[in-house]
Amino acid sequence: MDTTLPRLTLPLSGLSCASCARRVERAAAGVPGVATATVNLAAETAEIAYDPGLADAARIAAAIEAAGYGVPEERLVLNIDGMSCTSCQGRVERALAAVPGVLGVAVNLATGAAEVRVARGAVDTDALVAAVQAAGYAARPDGIRPVSQRFGSGTAILVLCLVLTAPFLLDMAAHLAGHHLLPAWLQLALATPVQLLGGARFYRAAWAGLRARAGNMDQLVAIGTTAAYALSVWHVIAGGPLYFEAAAVVVALVHLGKWLEARAKHGAAEAIEALRRLRPEWAARIAADGSEERVPAAALRPGDRVRIRPGESFPADGTVEEGETEADEALITGESRPVAKSPGDPVTAGAVNGAGLVTIRVTAAGEGTVLARIMRLVQSAQASKAPVQALVDRVAAVFVPVVLLIALVTLTGWLAAGADHATAIVNAVSVLVIACPCALGLATPAALVAGTGAAAQRGVLIRDAAALERARGLDTVVFDKTGTLTEGRLSVVAVAGDPDTLRLAAALQQGSEHPLARGVLRAAEAEGISLPAVQGFRAAAGRGVAGTVEG
């Protein structure tokens, strides 16, 4: 056996006897490139030696599953920085897919997020981060970056570029009328900060691509604008036409495009952050001696007892042990009315407790809660690819080298035809800048991110991009109940019986926080009714309120 081959340990499920182990071994060994496969029945794992050039974890896992057994998996989300086009996306996907134990990768260019399916316990997050860094990009093992950081980081540079580029636009308009507003030295002064400060991000990304021996859209921007700027600087010294406005405008417009892209990401991230904020950061855990301790909600574990006060959100999934209350579970059911909860009833993390004080026994916490699964659904939908994107990816993968080749042919063709160097360079630069940015590679993922994010903010969860694409063919939408279509703001539409009924009912509801009570109080306020005092007010969870009004 070749001991130099890398070894992979995969978890297994569905094994019941030695013959199961042998069938898994034969299935794994049948994959081209697998040298040996040994199953540990007691540990339910398979240790596999394989040639990475011929086999990978995904193919081996598929062969095991085809034999009737399972390979338990988990999903990890990484934030990727430095991607600028679909070529970058493809390199990151290939780098992550090459890590032993990775079963599948989906990188979303618009969100900068990579969802990685890995064999449970077989892959260390640090290995994924290192693989991305080796490809020339930065990665962080965190599902969501701070929205303000992601959205606002490029605003200052964008404003600088736009302010310094505006005079060029005025000069171009004046040039059409036969006037020149900007002397050469002023054009140089305006264009230099745009090229050096605004272009810095393109230079960094272009250099990262070169180190990874791959092309990206930033290289097109960097080469094109640098050529136009350098030629103009030379013409300031030696005399000749200036093209500072071409370089400055391209840098400013690409920055504007990046800012608009970040704005779309901002909305999508906010949708998930809004879900994340539903779960409180802290919880009141009850210790074994009955005392109460304040702990982070992330520290809760199944079996813990937690006390929830009126108006607080439930920090974990669980069942009510003590007390009665009502819980607002609109995030799960879409129903605006609170649901009565008594001992034995289930509660969901993120739901809002009503007027009762309750103690719950935690059944699921952290990433195991229903709320966490909803967040993962939204993230998975944003990271998934629609069928149309497969075509986009194939085209964009060769886009950069083809554009560079066309620009080179343009340059040599004009020189061969006897044109001067300035004309040849300007025409080659035109080819480069026309191709910037790669709208083809960005439009589809950006649209998917914006669509899934906007839907999540409105309570509609889209499970994958393919479903969103198929939705364009829908002609009928059927809802299972009307509660999901209501405003969630109850109101009084009619009052029957004694005209004084509304006044008395509203007076009684003054001490209640129930949505029905708020609806009655709004109706009384709209009528300008003065409410009398209430004696002996009491509320019964799920049953209403009682008290004495005017004797």
Active site positions, annotated: 480
CA distance 206 to 212: 10
**Alpha helices, DSSP H only, in 13-121?**
18-29, 57-66, 86-97
- The DSSP secondary structure of 251-280, one letter per residue, reads HHHHHHHHHHHHHHHHHHHHHHHHHHHTS-
Rg (CA), the chain: 31
Phi, psi of 339, deg, nearest 5: -110, 130
CA distance 218 to 422: 23
CB atoms within 10 A of CB 64: 26
Contacts of 160 (CB under 8 A, 6+ apart): 193, 194, 197, 198
CA distance 398 to 513: 61
And the tokens for 77? 């989300």
CB atoms within 10 A of CB 536: 8
Which residue bears the tokens 């860094």?
A: 133
Strands lying side by side in the sheet with 138-140: 102-108, 113-119, 73-81, 138-140
CB atoms within 10 A of CB 525: 11
CA distance 320 to 307: 10
Distance between the two ends of the chain, CA-based, in angstroms? 94
Which residue bears the tokens 């939408």?
A: 477
And the tokens for 36? 């040996």
